[in-house]
Amino acid sequence: MLSKVVDWEIVLPNKLPFARILVHCRHFANQKYAVEWVDTDRFIPLVEAQRHRDPKIVIPEAMTWLPCDWEKMLHFLENSSVDGSIEMPVVSFNAARQVATSAPKLFGLLPTGGTRNIVYPPYVGFVNGRHRTRAFERLGIKSFPVEIDVGAQQLLKQACGSMSQPAPLAPRSLSQA
Residue-wise pLDDT for 95-130, tens only, equals 877 666 665 665 655 555 556 667 778 889 888 999
Q: What is the Cα–Cα distance from 133 to 88, expressed in whole angstroms?
A: 9
Which residues, given as ranges, of the chain have pLDDT below 70? 1-3, 27-29, 52-53, 81-83, 98-117, 174-177
* Residue 133 near residue 89 (C-beta atoms within 8 A): yes
What is the reported pTM?
A: 0.81
Beta pairing partners, 20: 11
Please give the pLDDT value at position 56: 72
pLDDT at 2: 46
Is the distance from CB of 149 to CB of 31 less than 8 angstroms? no
Amino acid 174: pLDDT? 63
User: Would you state the pLDDT for residue 113?
Assistant: 56
Encode 125-163: b = buried (16+ Cβ within 10 Å), e = exposed.
ebeebbbbbbbbbbbebebbbbbbbeebbeebbebbbbe
pLDDT of residue 177: 36
Residue 148's pLDDT is what? 94
